[in-house]
Amino acid sequence: MYSAASLLISIALMLLLMYMKLDISLCLLAGAITLVLLTNPLLLPKVILTTLLSETFWIVFSATASICILAELFHNLGIDNEVAQTVVSIMRPKVAIMLLPAVLGLLPVAGGALLSAPLVDALSLCNSVMKAYINVWFRHTIFLAYPITNSMILISSLSGADSFSIALFNTPLMLLTVAVGYVIGVRKLEVVHLVRVRPKYTSLLTLLIPLVIALATRPLVSGFSIGIGVIASIVFIVFTYRPSSTILRKVLSSKRVWSTTLASFAVILLSFSVKMTSAYTVISGLSKHLPRDVLLLLVPYVLSLVTGSQTFSITVSASVLTASSFKDAVLIFNSSFFGYVPSPVHLCLVYSVKYYNADVVRVYKYIGPSTLLSYLFFISYALLLLS
């Protein structure tokens, strides 16, 4: 009973701090430390030391830090614009409208839909509501099957499931979400045919290198392969684009880099806090009333919907529900995803609605059915193949 109260207080504190707009890393740190202090204060040094010495932490840390540095280089060197111009130059307008938000979505930037919003605006002649829907929906579809995202790395590290295997399993689901978005938003869309410029394929290589290197090194270094792949892309950019020392200092001192890196520590600290205080045993009581699969679908979905943070949802769900299998990882990751996309506090949705000056209620008339249809397909697909 005391463990249950401690866990609920910890989660409530994290939710409160998130709604106070505190950085996600500070919210997770506060939750982890509070949980340990309420259950066994003397255990705190051991929990911190265990976290710092764990392989899981260093896998998440190396991948997260390198991805953030890569994203900052993209932005500061204008590589994101080169990618956009290249996609527009080699693709048909309707394909480009779907692909640009997805490609730019690979950059782990909070509210990153603002990166693709002007491009969707320039390529389409539809109303503001449809532009907002297209920008939000297609920015996130690729996350379902791209193994080098923070959320995918996170659930992989916490559950032990391979991120590439999760991405492969999710590929049919990703294709379905693309089809749903095409039918609802793009099929009858009137587009603008822009003057094509010379494509810069070097910019696309910076996105492909992490995947290729990660796949090649995975048999040798397992979880560290993603960090190695991203670092290889960073080295490629440094030698190809030759950023100035000023830009490099700006990248390495970026608040986003340090904040996200701190979050990687907070995530694993919370995970070990739940495990080492045995707070997860609270769920065994719920399991007597609800099947485990229902909890794996419900808890991450609700947490994402309420907080607008897939990172928070995955961390808490995987820790409390003791995710330890491929099935656990798939259910938690996708449930958190489908709660995250339509969340009213999801920054990409908020920024898109503001950018296009769209009616948010009308935007939900498209995002709501799209999310519901895709989520129901996922539940049927997952429970059929994984049961």
Structural domain span for residue 99 = 2-386
- In what helix (H) or strand (E) does residue 266 lie, and over which residues does it extend? helix 255-276
Rg, Å, the chain Cα set:
21
* Cα 282 from chain centroid (whole Å): 27
The DSSP result for 173-230, as a single string, is: HHHHHHHHHIIIIITT--B--PPP----HHHHHHHHHHHHHHHHHHHHHGGGHHHHHH
Q: What is the pLDDT of residue 193?
A: 60
The total number of structural domains that make up the chain: 1
Phi, psi of 338 (to 5 degrees): -75, -15
Q: Which residues contact 18 (CB under 8 A, 6 or more apart)?
A: 24, 27, 307, 309, 312
Q: What is the pLDDT of residue 169?
A: 97
Q: What is the pLDDT of residue 191?
A: 65
Residue whose tokens read 């907080």: 307
> Inter-axis angle of helices 93-104 and 113-123, to 10 degrees?
170
The tens place of each residue's pLDDT in the chain, 387 residues long, gives: 566 788 888 888 988 887 787 887 888 899 899 999 998 899 999 999 999 999 888 988 888 888 888 878 887 888 877 777 777 777 777 888 888 888 777 665 555 676 677 777 767 777 888 888 998 999 999 899 988 888 998 999 899 999 999 999 999 999 999 999 999 988 877 765 655 667 778 888 887 888 788 878 877 877 788 888 889 989 999 999 999 999 999 999 988 788 878 888 888 888 888 878 876 666 656 666 788 899 999 999 988 987 888 988 898 899 888 888 999 999 999 999 999 999 887 878 877 888 788 888 899 999 999 999 999 999 999 989 997
Distances (CA, A) of 296 to 20, 166, 196, 271, 373: 27, 16, 47, 16, 19
Look at the chain and count its residues.
387
Centre a 10 Å sphere on the Cβ of residue 265 and count the other Cβ atoms it contains: 20
Global pTM reads 0.80
Q: What is the pLDDT of residue 137?
A: 94
